[in-house]
Amino acid sequence: MIEKTLGKIYIGLILVFMYTPILVLIALSFNDSRSRVVWGGFTLKWYRTLFDNSSIMSAFGTTAALAFVSAAVASLIGLFAAIGIYSMKKRSVKVMLFFTNIPLLNADIVTGIALMLWFVRFFPLGFVSVLTAHITFNIPYVILCILPKLETMDIRQFEAARDLGASTAYAFTKVILPDLLPGILAGFFMAVTMSMDDFVITYFTKGPGVNTLSTLIYGEIRKGIKPEMYALSSVLFLLVLIILIIANKTDTVKEN
């Protein structure tokens, strides 16, 4: 009994530490006062100025485009990579996974600077360079989502389809792909959130004039903290949360 209550208190504490700062941020975004300690009443004016601000709206557009395009491309590359890794011998799989996981574990700042150095040699930094960077760090997430699905799949289904007269392409799209779809979707949404979340790598690989929401917030905050940044951060948090929930839903629904 005591253990149970202690456990509950422990989890409660963790949740408080994790979410109170975010909740405070969200609360402040509705605060009519510019002060961070005085509650001046409820208002939506920061959100209004937010949506009237053209540089913020363009950063929003860039973020969305970046997230979805990089996630889509990474899903495609990751799908074929996962199938390739799946059909390798056990030893090669380990080596391959080690290398694909490096971008996952590597410090963002190292990846960011490395990619920047690499990109400036070949083309001017801009939207394309950020996009390429995002695709790069998204691929391992997609692979990690698809590989377990491949491993639990009965690969004989593919042979059965071939046996029943299907060409390789038909068997792949009709039999393998639907089975992998939950994994692909989970990987896609994971990649979307990772791309939206990212600040460090984006910061180093973006050229002048290109801003995502996170780099924009960073730039604005250096000039002084404005309440519309609270609003913007809240919007960003909410977006990522929604996508994460969708990703989890698609995964579990298909499994049942």
- Binding footprint of another protein on the chain (CB under 8 A): 154, 156-157, 159-167, 170, 174-175, 178-179
Look at phi and psi of residue 195 and say left if phi exceeds 0, alpha if psi is from -120 to 50, else beta.
Answer: alpha
Q: Which residue has the tokens 């059909």?
A: 87
Residue closer to another protein by CB (options 150, 213) is 150
Cβ 255 to another protein shortest distance, Å = 11
Strand partners, 42: 31
Q: Which two tokens stand for residue 119?
A: 């990109």
Residue closer to another protein by CB (options 79, 210) is 79
Cβ 146 to another protein shortest distance, Å = 16
CA–CA distance from 17 to each of 13, 193, 217 (Å)?
6, 22, 23
Cβ 153 to another protein shortest distance, Å = 8
Cβ 188 to another protein shortest distance, Å = 18
Residue closer to another protein by CB (options 166, 244) is 166
Q: Which residue has the tokens 């530490």?
A: 17
Cα separation, 78 vs 99, whole angstroms:
14
Cβ 161 to another protein shortest distance, Å = 7
**What is the CA 224 to chain-centroid distance, rounded?**
28
Kind and range of the H or E run holding 54? helix 54-86
Residue closer to another protein by CB (options 136, 157) is 157
Residue closer to another protein by CB (options 35, 168) is 168
User: What is the sign, positive or negative, of the torsion defined by CA atoms of 144, 22, 56, 214?
Assistant: negative
